[in-house]
Structure 1
Amino acid sequence: MKTFGTLLLYFSLLCMVSCTNSTDNTNSDNSPESSVKRISYSITGVYPHDTSSFTQGLAFYKGQLLEGTGYEGKSKLMHMDIKTGKPVKAVRLDTTIFGEGVTVINDTIYQLTWKNNIVLVYSAQDLKKIKEFPLNTDGWGLANDGKNLIVSDGSSNLYFYEPSTFRLLRTQSVTEDGSPVSNINELEYINGYIYANQWQYNYILKIDPNNGIVVAKMDLTELVNRVQAKIPGIDTGTVATLNGIAYDPQTNKIYVTGKYWPELYEIQFEH
């Protein structure tokens, strides 16, 4: 009887420990859900894209697609024909310059450079270079809100500049669920929000420019997988990563692509 009582006590204690551990595991799984909304999208058009273009920036000017590309000796600024994927007009950057993001404001094109610490300025009509501005950070993505130029440098910050002088007006940190967001890359401003590629990720982030909070994000893994299927072995995680967002206000259409991608995609989503 003594042995049975001891075993019964041991069994009871074991059950208590097991039940306690089970309760603790259940509580640990109840982590707070993300406040960031997921954006669904559909592909509404597919167009050819030059696989030799290391795409760094996309933008529209009066219905004409502009594309800026990178790498020393290969960097360009181009007016593109969407239907053929070929340039209508192109200018080559100096062989020492690594081109980055582009945007158009007041009939003027601004093109960043990666580590050359300059911003190139052109006439939007003929791509004639007008001047240069100094840049104190790396240049990654570039957009505008109709008044200010908005720059990313690969960090968790966005920088707002005055177009006529390129004077820094303010710096805005970007956070997702309270944590800094790294690798902010190519930018586009659409209906009051900044949309940003996140380098080495398949996301486009929707950012409130007033406080830097990521309010929504879009997962474009479907497009990345499509590119990998078309070009087996292409490294869409680094070199051929998703990069390039362009919004045409005349048609209300949005286009995305990536570095060396064979296609440009017209996508539709609620924005």
Structure 2
Amino acid sequence: MSKIASIIVSVSLLLFIGCGNKYQLKFDSPKTIKINKALKISVNEKGGNPIDSVRYFINGKMIDNHESFDISGFKLGKQALSAEVYFEGKKRQLNNTIYFLNDSPPEVYTFEVIQDFPHDDQAFTQGFVYHDGYFYESTGQNGRSSLRKVEIETGKVLKKIDLDRQYFGEGMTIKDGKIYQLTWRKKIGFIYDLETFELEKTFEYGKSKEGWGLAHNDKMLIKTDGSERMWFLDPESLKEVSYIETYTDKRKAEKLNELEFVNGKIYANIWQQNSILIVNPENGAIEGIVSLKGLQAKAGQKGEDNVLNGIAYDEQNDRLFVTGKNWNKVFEIKIKEK
């Protein structure tokens, strides 16, 4: 190539780059929005240069009308916004993050104690289930973790196996004759035969950070990992299929721990708090908060560690039970409007 030709090519390239670089694109979107509001987003060019067209996406899915987009059917929490901007034969992608919030504050509830039952105050309760007239319990702490079957009226442990000391036992649930139990940071779960407590298989976690709480909705296992997320697992493959993020109308709720599925809602407690969240399993909206203030002291405990961490539901008789870490009682309670 001649020197003159090289100069012509270089000048043409600079003109091409300069033409694209003169565009100063701004992607406007709110940082948060309630799901009963219409989402409005736009791309503007600061210098008034013409834009041929823009395509908008939420979590990789193109949306039709950016001027007033209905988000009421979306899950709550963090969403990825993107815009493909076309101008002068070029395309540029812009990215933003937005958080979808619930459209109303959660209802606040209190409780009434119906009756109480004895509970082993050496049990660092991590998972708690009612099944066929008995409590089943998973306890934590390295070297003290266990799986138990407990007589309700007396608190007597009828069956028990201990986990290897390398494992810190966490949440558990019972489904189709199997007991599913999590461990904390080893990213492994156990599946036992309900009758014999014989270990049948193990499973590994996917993207979820740790093992905290576990429940099921008859179709899927529901798992927490200490964040604001609840993961839905296929009970056969144990793969994480999807998740929701738990939000109020203002903020997210983190450190989600023990779980129970009650009348179509997920009941969850937060680590180091004596309360229960009532969560919509479809979108993660925190629809209610049940304050259980006072129960910890009634169970002979205090402080941040030995808090509420056990929720069990007797569906047939519509009875709700709660207990906690090293509590000396299990309480049957009735939730009441405040």
TM range (shorter): 0.7 to 0.9
Distance 2:241 2:148 in 1: 29
Distance 2:268 2:179 in 1: 19
Structure 1 residue 151 corresponds to structure 2 residue 223 = yes
Paired position in structure 2 for 1:125: 195
Amino acid at match of 1:251: N
Higher strand share: 2
Of 156, 175, 181, the residue aligned with 1:86 is 156
Structure 2 alignment gaps of length 5 or more: 1-103
Paired position in structure 2 for 1:199: 271
SS of the equivalent of 2:289 reads strand
* Contact 2:272–2:307 (CA under 8 A) maintained in structure 1: yes
Deviations 1:102-155 (A, max 9, x none): 101111110000001101001112211110000142000000000100000110
Distance 1:159 1:194 in 2: 12
Matches within 5 A, 1:108-123: 108-123=178-193
Distance 2:332 2:160 in 1: 23
Deviation at 1:63, TM superposition (A): 2.3
Paired position in structure 2 for 1:30: none
Distance 2:310 2:224 in 1: 13
Structure 1 residue 268 corresponds to structure 2 residue 334 = yes
Deviation at 1:270, TM superposition (A): 6.0
Alpha-carbon RMSD across the aligned residues, in angstroms, is 1.6
| Greater RCO, CA 8 A, separation 6+ | 1
Deviation at 1:184, TM superposition (A): 0.5
Paired position in structure 2 for 1:242: 308
Amino acid at match of 1:259: K
* Contact 2:129–2:313 (CA under 8 A) maintained in structure 1: yes
Paired position in structure 1 for 2:109: 39
Paired position in structure 1 for 2:58: none
* Contact 2:127–2:214 (CA under 8 A) maintained in structure 1: yes
Number of equivalenced pairs:
233
* Contact 2:181–2:191 (CA under 8 A) maintained in structure 1: yes
Of 254, 272, 277, the residue aligned with 1:182 is 254
Deviation at 1:90, TM superposition (A): 0.6
Higher helix share: 1
Q: What is the identity percentage for the equivalent residue pairs of Structure 1 and Structure 2?
A: 37
Of 269, 274, 286, the residue aligned with 1:214 is 286
Matches within 5 A, 1:19-98: 35-98=105-168
Distance 1:70 1:240 in 2: 12
Paired position in structure 1 for 2:298: 226
Structure 1 residue 106 corresponds to structure 2 residue 176 = yes
Deviation at 1:40, TM superposition (A): 2.6
Amino acid at match of 1:242: L
Deviation at 1:198, TM superposition (A): 0.8
Instruction: Indicate the structure (1 or 2) with the bigger Cα radius of gyration.
Output: 2
Distance 1:57 1:261 in 2: 13
Q: TM-score if structure 1 supplies the norm length? A: 0.83
SS of the equivalent of 2:290 reads strand
